[in-house]
Structure 1
């Protein structure tokens, strides 16, 4: 059985061949959530001119003089034709080009009346105040959005400012999810509602994958048919359940007939020890997740998403360090990834009823990494992986037992 670190290295070494370089160009308006395949560089200095940062008067200083002759008005989108001599000024609006050698005095620091020829300022400002200088944010040719960025609205705004109208992005990998089990979606007292399918639909959609989903009962023929259909078109086949040691855990036996070779099966982690990863010569991958819903949530973040990153220019989920809110020790025998919430005071691991307690896990903000034997004092930093598609702090208020 691999350690978590060994499994991470094995995932990083996967080779998906030409599937890793499939790129398309789409309008910026449709690029949110996609992974950028080429750097976006700005085509001009930003700002492109010396820009007033507030409404007021652009004055050409003349020693300690506080009275300036008004030469005109400059609004956003217009320019002042000519130059100002010392002791002269123009009325200027936020965002307008400031004439050369001027300083902007805020409107509230001036005294004037409409139509009069001069403006009085209540102080002599430092030269160059309230002006954003040409190129101070970026110079023409600077990369503003780097390859591998998952495009959020702010990135799209910066890209548009840089002059881009479209973006080269990695094509959406096709992920076929096959949930398994007689108990899932059935009827009767022992039936279990399908929570894994919607979970993976949402997570994979947030990551920019095209998701196909089907269900197979614990029947060798039905499962084989579902997996063969999935293998015909998918870049990644994802199964939930059927990878452990039970009599109905049929997934591992299907790999040979589908042309996949096992990379690893079982990792020393909790939850999700039975996770399975396999690869095929044409670059397709097979990720077998356990059936327990919290195990699916955890192993999707720990193993599925790094595998998906091979189709997205090497993108990977981002771990951060967050201080622990209180003392915590892990005396278990496996590398633990425990749901935890970021709260006032730091990171607080969930109080849960084990890896079947989806309610407590879903109320958390992500997973805290707790190696075997780890001991934390309040304030010690811990590695934390935020849930994909989840806004930290936007969670249900749950009873104390589950928090």
Structure 2
């Protein structure tokens, strides 16, 4: 049995970033950038007005009370023009005429004379106007040639806005990790929905992993259910290898019982076992191996919360490494209730999060942490992670927290949970 840190180090050490592929930006939401994106132009691309008003050249003639002839109008989308005498009416976003360097807001002027068509002909300034007032300068958001997004960044709507503004229509993204799921257990009822047979259960691990992996950006190639014998499991492994997957995740049959055949089956298949058993709760019997044909195998215990922990704290780091993303930034919260973990084991506790009246993130472990219970998982906001060497944890101490699912965004409740007496 090895520590969690040692297990992750062995798991990630041989991994390399997957190949890249080019996608239209409109289809790249949720994908991971393969390379750093450099800006092909400055943003803004020209000096323009920050508000409706009048463009002018700041100086001695732009004092409050001075009067000016309005010689033209400049709207957004108009090409550049040379500044004339006086001032030029200008609209928000319009290019600043050459020779002008400031804009006075329309509400800080007084119209003295209009033309027959109603447009202003002569105005008076109500304030002194300084150089650069109400002007958005070229390149002040993004200079030309600047690195705007690093490789490994996930393309979200905010990135779509930025890259679209820069005129970038296609991007190189990391190929999605291809994953196969194998659920073991003769008790798992398969086929069309039907009343459960005696001694059978519905498969919840397969649907959970499929949903969690897809949300994390993986391509789930297959999800097979096999019984508790070696031959069907080896067939499913062979199917995964032939499909060219990068990762195989299996659930169940990985502990020490008579029907826990997975460790022997993997060795029979020629796999190199990286580790078997991790000092943690839940999920201690977890096994990792590398197949001769290159896919990585993570064999998780079949208990629902062991599967959830394996997915969140082993599969998620593997997917990040395959996509060229670094480790997740550490997140911490104040522990709201004392915990007494078993020494020598890393504990993963389902928890609720909320902000207290001082703006501090609070975390409380939910009741009923038994690994077979799914309802508390569905009601939780996050995981509390207690280190192997942490010992007893008093209320009020700082602890590590992690998002509930493979994605890294936290769910935070509106207030502290109700505690049943």
TM-score (norm 1): 0.89
In the TM superposition, what whole-angstrom CA distance separates every residue of 1:224-252 from its partner, at most 9, and x where no partner exists? 22222223222211101111122222211
Contact 1:179 1:239 in 2 (8 A): yes
Distance (Å, rounded) in 1 between the aligned partners of 2:321 and 2:80: 53
Distance 1:34 1:293 in 2: 28
Equivalent pair of 1:363/1:395 in contact (CA under 8 Å): no
Name stretches of at least 5 consecutive residues in structure 2 with no aligned partner: 191-195
- Per-residue CA distance 1:140-178 (angstroms, 9 max, x = gap): 111111111121121122222233211111212221001
| Structure 1 ranges of 4+ moved more than 6 A | 394-399
* Greater shift in the superposed pair: 383-392 or 94-103: 383-392
TM-aligned CA deviation for residue 127 of structure 1: 2.9
CA contact (8 A) 1:363 1:396 kept: no
Matches within 5 A, 1:2-401: 2-15=2-15, 20-61=17-58, 62-66=61-65, 67-85=67-85, 88-99=86-97, 100-112=99-111, 114-185=118-189, 187-188=196-197, 190-211=199-220, 212-233=222-243, 234-313=245-324, 315-316=325-326, 318-324=328-334, 326=336, 328-333=338-343, 334-345=345-356, 346-353=361-368, 354-371=370-387, 372-373=390-391, 375=393, 378=396, 380-386=397-403, 387-389=405-407, 392-393=410-411, 400=418
SS of the aligned residue for 1:29 comes to helix
Farther off after superposition, 244-253 or 141-150: 244-253
Residues 283 and 307 of structure 2 are in contact (CA less than 8 Å); yes or no, is this contact kept in structure 1?
yes
- Structure 1 residue matching 2:209: 3-state secondary structure: helix
> What count of residue pairs does the alignment treat as equivalent?
395
Deviation per CA, 1:234-274, whole angstroms, max 9, x where unpaired?
22111011111222222111112322111011111122111
**Residue range with higher mean Cα deviation, 187-196 or 236-245:** 187-196
- Cα distance in 2 for partners of 1:356, 1:93 equals 64
Instruction: Please state how far the C-alpha of 1:45 moved relative to its aligned partner.
Output: 1.3
Q: By how many angstroms is 1:81 displaced?
A: 1.0
Query: What is the TM-score with the length of structure 2 in the denominator?
Result: 0.85
2-side partners of 1:102 and 1:325: how far apart? 56
Q: Measure the CA separation in 1 of the matches of 2:261 and 2:323.
A: 30
Whole-angstrom CA distance in 2 between matches of 1:351 and 1:199: 21
Distance 2:53 2:411 in 1: 41
Which structure has the bigger radius of gyration? 2
Mean Cα deviation higher: 184-193 or 366-375: 184-193
Name the CA distance, whole Å, in 2 between partners of 1:297 and 1:342: 18
- 1:338/1:349 contact within 8 Å kept: no
Deviations 1:13-47 (A, max 9, x none): 1245xxx3422111111111111111111111111
RMSD over aligned CA atoms reads 2.7
Contact preservation (8 Å) 2:382, 2:411: no
Secondary structure of the residue that 1:373 maps to in structure 2?
coil
Change (3 A) 1:322 1:310: closer
Moved more, 208-217 or 95-104: 95-104
Rounded Cα–Cα distance in structure 1 between residues aligned with 2:321 and 2:165:
30
Per the alignment, residue 193 of structure 2 pairs with none
Q: Which runs of 5+ in 1 are unaligned?
A: none
